[in-house]
Every structure is written in structure tokens, then in C-alpha cells.
Amino acid sequence: SVDPDASAAGIEVLRKGGNAVDAAVATAAALGVTEPYSAGIGGGGYFVHYDAKKRTVRTIDGRETAPRSADASLFLENGKPIPFEEGVTSGLGVGTPGTPATWERALDAWGTKSLRTLLKPAERLARDGFVVDGTFRSQTASNQARFADFPASAELFLPGGELPAVGSVFKNPDLARTYEKLGREGVGALYRGELADDIVRTVRKPPVDPDATRVVRPGDLTREDLAAYRTLRQDPTRVNYRGLDVYGMAPSSSGGTGVGEALNILESTDLSRADRTQYLHRLIEASRIAFADRGR
């Protein structure tokens, strides 16, 4: 993974007899501690699984789901788009998390260890802390003004009102307790009960500092939205590239279709004769075209 502590969590699982799916879940949970700006139980994602014995590829779509009340006017106000920053920092931008349900479904289908066992390394990491690096400090700095307007976030990410220093130890005891609860009760604890109530209350009444000048709009997420969440099992994308079958994640992800289109473009060129500059130019252009089509 991108983080040594998270990678160590996965390696620990493998050394204790777990399989790749077990290790992936343990690693992902640990990334939720050390890489909260790009991973975590409050978000969503995808799971691609290859069974080497059966030579089959299966996928799970575990992206977040918007509230059932959402429609085309969700990010409009008086007929005009809400500024992006205001839409992101609001209850409007929050959907039902898919990550915990994705872990559960992957483990039910292909895992060998219990979720409780696999969350232990991440729980320990959140409780005991990890060493802050330059990336974590930089990402926190990018969110500093936003965090300052939310007392609970400021208390966690801006100790003493300051950015966490590189080399300091960062602890997240609330996340440790949440992992412990999910391990003990199952991921249903996030979609129903106390945790679900906390999520809904926060979305519908954002805990912003009364003195903040930031506009923070409430959302419309409900307990029913959380309880109704389901992951999706679907067929992967597949393209043939120079005799190789390349599988990927189908929509709602753009990964499989985007990579597939880029490979189809590149297959029409002789990359073996290209020097490094030509190779990179063709790769970048193929990716650029595929990404442009994605946005149509």
C-alpha cells in the first residue's frame, strides 16, 4: 500500500495464515487511520477479486449512495449551482458509506478470517498512534481552515490549534473504539443503531462553530438511507490488449472503461520502437482522450 503501517497490517495477516482478501481488508482498515484523506470507513470504493484456481474475476461495487431524497436539484440553490467548496463542506455532500459493507461482503465470499480479527491491527494503530510524515501534515494543512470551523475536527487534527508536527505521534481514539465496535457487533452497527444515529445527526445538523463565517448547509440523509444500503455484485470490464485479457471495475467506476479505452488506443501503435519520450507522450495522450470521454 502507500503506507508502511498499513502494509505491515496486511503482512501480519498473511503471516498468520490469512489470504489476500483478508490482508486487503486489514490493510484498508489501517489506511483509514493513516490516510484519512483518501481512505476510511466513511467513504466507499471497489473490490476486484481474481480466483486463480477457477480463473474467474468478480467485483463488488461499494460506492457511497446518495439519500433517497436526492434529485437533480441537490446542489442547486435558487436555480444556480452551489459553489463547489460549499457543496463539499456540507451535509449535502454526504452519502451512505459503502466501505464497511464492502469489507463484509468480500470476506463472506472469499475471506478466511473474521472481521474482528482483521480490524485489530487498525484498532491498535488508531489507539496507540502512528508517526506523522510530511504527506499527512501537508494534507492536514490543506484542510486546516475547514477543520478550524468544526470543534471536534479541530480537536483531533489541530491539537492545540496547530498542525501536527512531522515526527509526532497521531492518535485517533474515537476511530479505535469504532473499529472495536464493528469487530464486536459487525458492520451492521454502522448502518443501524448508535453510530447510524450519530451520522444522521451530524449530516442533518452539522456541528459547526457558532462563530464560523463559513456557510455549512445541512443534508437530508436518514436512518432509512443507512439501513437500506447494499453493495452491488457485477461483472467486470474486459478488454484484450496484445493477447492479454485485462479486467477492471465496471461503472459506477470509470477505471475499467477508462483503462480499456486507453489500451485500445495504444494497441494501434508500435510502442516497442518508441523511445522514452515518445512512449510517455502516447501513454499520456491515450489516457487524456479516455478521460475526456469519461466526462461526456
Q: What is the identity of the amino acid at 132?
A: V
- pLDDT over 70, % of the chain: 100
Q: What are 225-237's pLDDT values in tens digits?
A: 999 999 999 999 9
Q: 254 and 155, same structural domain?
A: no
Q: 55 and 125, same structural domain?
A: yes
pLDDT-based confidence at residue 190 (cuts at 50, 70, 90): very high
Q: 198 and 120, same structural domain?
A: yes
Q: 167 and 93, same structural domain?
A: yes
Q: 261 and 134, same structural domain?
A: no
The pLDDT of residue 50 is above 90: yes
Residue in 202, 217, 253 with CA at minimum distance from that of residue 98: 253
**Model pTM score:** 0.91
Last residue of a domain, one of 193, 219, 234: 234
Mean pLDDT of the chain: 96
C-alpha cell, 70: 436526492
The pLDDT of residue 166 is above 90: yes
Contact 3, 132 (CB under 8 A): no
Q: 72 and 180, same structural domain?
A: yes
Q: Which domain holds residue 266?
A: 237-294
Q: 280 and 139, same structural domain?
A: no
Q: What are 109-157's pLDDT values in tens digits?
A: 999 999 999 999 999 999 999 999 999 999 999 999 999 999 999 999 9
Last residue of a domain, one of 182, 204, 234: 234
The pLDDT of residue 224 is above 90: yes
C-alpha cell, 15: 503471516
Kindly report the CATH number assigned to the domain that includes residue 267: 1.10.246.130
Q: 259 and 243, same structural domain?
A: yes
| DSSP-derived 3-state class of residue 57 | strand
pLDDT-based confidence at residue 294 (cuts at 50, 70, 90): confident
DSSP assignments along 154-180, one per residue:
HHHHSGGGSPPPTTSEE--HHHHHHHH
Last residue of a domain, one of 234, 257, 283: 234
Residue 261, judged by CB atoms within 10 A of its CB (0-12, 13-18, 19+), counts as buried
Q: 119 and 88, same structural domain?
A: yes
pLDDT-based confidence at residue 279 (cuts at 50, 70, 90): very high
- 153-179: average pLDDT: 97
Q: 119 and 265, same structural domain?
A: no
Residue 51's alpha-carbon distances to 1, 14, 55, 58, 146, in angstroms, are: 21, 17, 5, 8, 43
- 80-91: average pLDDT: 95
pLDDT at 296: 78
Q: How many domains does the chain have?
A: 2
Q: 289 and 181, same structural domain?
A: no
Q: Which residues pair with 201 in a beta bridge?
A: none
> d(Cα 187, Cα 101) in Å, to the nearest integer?
6
Q: 251 and 168, same structural domain?
A: no
pLDDT-based confidence at residue 202 (cuts at 50, 70, 90): very high
